[in-house]
Amino acid sequence: MSEQKPSPNGQKPSPNGTEPGAAKTVKATERPTTGRAFGPPGGIPGDKSLDFLPSAKRLLKRLRPHRMQVSGVVLLAVFSVGLSVLGPKILGRATDIIFAGAIGKRLPSGMTKEQVIEQTRASGNGRLADLLQGIDLIPGVGIDFDALRNVLLLVLALYAGAFFLSWAQGYILNGVVQRTILDLRSEVEEKLNKLPLSYFDGAPRGELLSRVTNDIDNISTSLQQTLSQLLTSLLTVVGVVTMMFVISPLLALIALVTIPISMVLTAAIAKRSQVRFVAQWRHTGALNGQIEEAFTGHELVKVFGRQKEIEASFAEKNEELYKAAFGAQFISGLIMPLMMFIGNVNYVVIAVVGGLRVASGTMSLGDVQAFIQYSRQFTQPLTQVASMANLLQSGVASAERVFEVLDAEEQVPDDATPEKVTDARGRVEFEHVSFSYDPDKPLITDLSLVAEPGQTVAIVGPTGAARPHWST
């Protein structure tokens, strides 16, 4: 009986190389904080996005230009998952052959199976007789190595096929995601050239930069990790459940009970860990803000003798961050053990019930073994989907922020057919020009001025007279 087999094609480690179940926690806590333009990629914290479905849909729509390849990926996934899902069942046949041979060898040769069973029953060993009933054996004959070889070769071919298909799928999907992100970046950059200057002045530079760099990177990572995993996980669950029903509806029902339990548990944990992650990022932001100020104003802190004070308030925020980080890590770290526990209980129940059914001859050992492998095979994807939930939410949250930039109002476009200035000599005229950021606070009112070529016009005025705005 083999268990703990990771689901086929499903688990892909995050670029950091950690186990996928923890991928969410690695990426989520890797992101730097609000408003920092430099530093490794990451994004504004995994806030529960405000409008998950519409933004998610919009994000997925961006894959449309590559829909041929996406369909290809889906097709490849279906086949590779199909192959991997068949594997255990056929491997189960191998175990059956071995088991049959092992038992059969012990029985006296020369009799038929029915005769042996009758004999066994007659001698009072009803249980054993039941067991023998269900096994495809020939008394006195050991393992059929020819049959075994054929089965194993078939399985080898299946798994080799699954390997190539799943690699191809990953290969293509990777290209699709990266190109989609390339397009997104270009689009945003183009948009920047069309935005009015007021947009740039309205927000801290680091904030805008963060959207364009960190958030897009976050989308890239999220897409990369969740798309293929989600696809294969879901397909695996469907395939595995089907196989389980094929083998034994009873056992399948037992195994299926774990699905709603897992979902409830995961949702409960995800909700709690989400809250703590948001808190962690908030505190990281606050601490980072403090550090940024203290370091930038370092000489002032020193000369005004405020070092001790600053260290005290730093320690306070640092402590809060520690608590938040601890909480977040702990709660989110509970998912894996809990899922494993459910899987284990499942394993136990199936081993026992399956064992009983084999003993009574109603099921083959190989089938039970395959069943156990299957039940392992579907708790894995469930765990993965659970841990991907956070990553997905984070990616969509970043997508929302990027879409905000793309949706921003553009400045009045230059005239479609601008007048060509054929004889540009440099005469600038201001005709009753007014300007203000805020309608209630005019900066420049009714300005008329002519600057002829060859002239130097000086603009002077007291502090606060809006001189820089002229050049703009």
The least CB distance from residue 76 to other proteins, in Å, is 11
Residue (of 181, 141, 126, 153) closest to 399 by Cα position: 181
CB-CB contact of 293 with 327 (8 Å): no
Distance CA 238, CA 8 (A): 13
Pick the closer one to other proteins by CB: 196 or 249: 196
* Helix, strand, coil share of the chain (percent; to 5): 70, 5, 25
Smallest separation, CB 201 to other proteins (Å): 9
In the bound state with other proteins, the residue whose beta carbon lies nearer, of 49 and 369, is: 369
Looking at the Cβ atoms of 67 and 127, the one nearer to other proteins is: 127
- Chain centroid offset of residue 194 CA: 33
Output 54 or 126, the one with its CB closest to other proteins. Answer: 126
Backbone angles phi, psi at 458, to 5 degrees: -100, 140
Query: By C-beta, is 53 or 458 nearer to other proteins?
Result: 458
What's the length of the chain? 472
Q: CB 64 → other proteins: shortest distance, Å?
A: 18
Closest separation between CB of residue 52 and other proteins, Å? 26
The residue (of 48 and 333) whose beta carbon lies closer to other proteins is 333
CB of 10 to other proteins, least distance (A): 8
> How far, in Å, CA of 208 to CA of 215, rounded?
10
8 A C-beta contact, residue 378 and residue 233:
no
Q: Is the Cβ of residue 410 or residue 446 nearer to other proteins in the bound state? A: 410
Closest approach of other proteins to the CB of residue 267, in Å: 19
Nearest alpha carbon to residue 392 among 50, 46, 44 = 46
470: number of Cβ within 10 Å:
15
- The smaller minimum CB distance to other proteins, of residues 200 and 435, is found at 200
Name, in order, each residue with C-beta under 8 angstroms of 168's C-beta and a sequence gap of 6 or more: 76
Q: Which helix (H) or strand (E) holds 398?
A: helix 365-407
Q: How far is the CB of 345 from other proteins (least distance, A)?
A: 6
Q: Which residue has the tokens 């006195």?
A: 140
Q: How far is the CB of 254 from other proteins (least distance, A)?
A: 13
CB of 403 to other proteins, least distance (A): 18
Residue 279 CA to residue 55 CA, distance in Å, equals 23
Give the burial string for 194-228 (b: 16+ CB within 10 Å, else e).
Answer: eeeeebeeeeeeeebebbbbbbbbbbbbbbbbbbb
Which H, E and C letters describe 137-164, residue by residue?
Answer: CCCCCCCCHHHHHHHHHHHHHHHHHHHH
Nearer to other proteins, 36 or 393 (CB): 36
Q: Toward other proteins, which CB reaches closer, 1 or 238?
A: 1
Residue 320 is encoded by which pair of tokens? 């809060």
Distance of closest approach, residue 87 Cβ to other proteins, in angstroms = 7
